[in-house]
Amino acid sequence: MGKRLFVLALSMALLSPACGLITTSEPVVTPSATPAPTPTSPPTPRPMVTPTEPPAPDWHRHETDGFEIWLPGTWESLPLEREALELIIDMWETTNPRVAEYVDFFLQAGLYEQIDFWAMDTESTQFVSNVNIMSVPVPVSPALYVTSMSSELERMEATIISTSDSLEINGLPAARIEYHMPMELPGSGVMVATGVQYAVSGGSSTHVLTFTTAEEQTSEMAPIFEMSANSFRIFER
CA–CA separation, 220 and 74 (whole Å) = 14
The answer to whether 188 touches 206, Cβ cutoff 8 Å, is no
Q: How far is the CA of 45 from the CAs of 42, 138, 204, 216, in angstroms? A: 9, 23, 19, 46
CB environment 83-122: b (16+ within 10 A), e (fewer): eebeebbeebeeebeebbbbbbbbbebebbeebebbbbbb
Residues 6+ apart with CB under 8 A from 183: 5, 6, 9, 10, 190, 191, 192, 193
**What is the per-residue pLDDT for 31?**
38
CA–CA separation, 181 and 192 (whole Å) = 5
**What is the per-residue pLDDT for 224?**
94
DSSP code string of 93-132: HHH-HHHHHHHHHHHHHTGGGS-SEEEEETT-SSS--EEE
Element (DSSP H or E) covering residue 158 = none
**What is the per-residue pLDDT for 127?**
73
**What is the per-residue pLDDT for 22?**
37
**What is the per-residue pLDDT for 185?**
62
**What is the per-residue pLDDT for 109?**
61
CA–CA separation, 35 and 51 (whole Å) = 44
pLDDT block averages, 10 residues each, the chain of length 237: 36 41 36 45 48 78 89 83 66 63 66 75 78 87 93 90 95 95 69 92 88 91 95 81
The radius of gyration of the chain's CA atoms, rounded to the nearest angstrom, is 19
**What is the per-residue pLDDT for 4?**
34
The answer to whether 190 touches 184, Cβ cutoff 8 Å, is yes
CA–CA separation, 134 and 19 (whole Å) = 12
**What is the per-residue pLDDT for 19?**
42
Instruction: Evaluate whether the domain defined by 58-234 bears CATH number 3.40.1000.10.
Output: yes
Residue 181, judged by CB atoms within 10 A of its CB (0-12, 13-18, 19+), counts as buried
Among candidate residues 178, 164, 168, 158, the one with its CA nearest the CA of residue 219:
178
Centroid of chain to Cα 79: 14
CA–CA separation, 131 and 100 (whole Å) = 16
Among candidate residues 161, 121, 118, 140, the one with its CA nearest the CA of residue 207:
140
